[in-house]
Amino acid sequence: MSKSVAYKHLVRAVSLWPKDRLRPDCQLQDILLARAKKTFVPASSAIGAPAPTINERAELENANALYSLLDNRYALRYQPRKNLLMRPASNPDHYNDIIEEIDAAPSRGMFGRIKNRLSGLLRFS
Is the same domain home to 47 and 91?
no
Is the same domain home to 90 and 105?
yes
Is the same domain home to 11 and 62?
yes
- Name the residue range of residue 94's domain: 81-121
Is the same domain home to 11 and 41?
yes
What Cα–Cα distance (Å) separates residue 122 from each residue in 22, 37, 98? 25, 50, 19
Please state the rounded mean pLDDT for residues 104-114.
87
Average pLDDT of the chain? 84
Specify the DSSP class assigned to residue 4: P
Tens digits of residue pLDDT in 40-91: 877 665 566 666 788 889 999 999 999 999 998 887 787 776 677 788 889 9
pLDDT above 80 (res 27): yes
Evaluate if pTM is beyond 0.85: no
* Distance from C-alpha of 66 to C-alpha of 12, rounded to nearest angstrom: 10
Is the same domain home to 72 and 86?
no
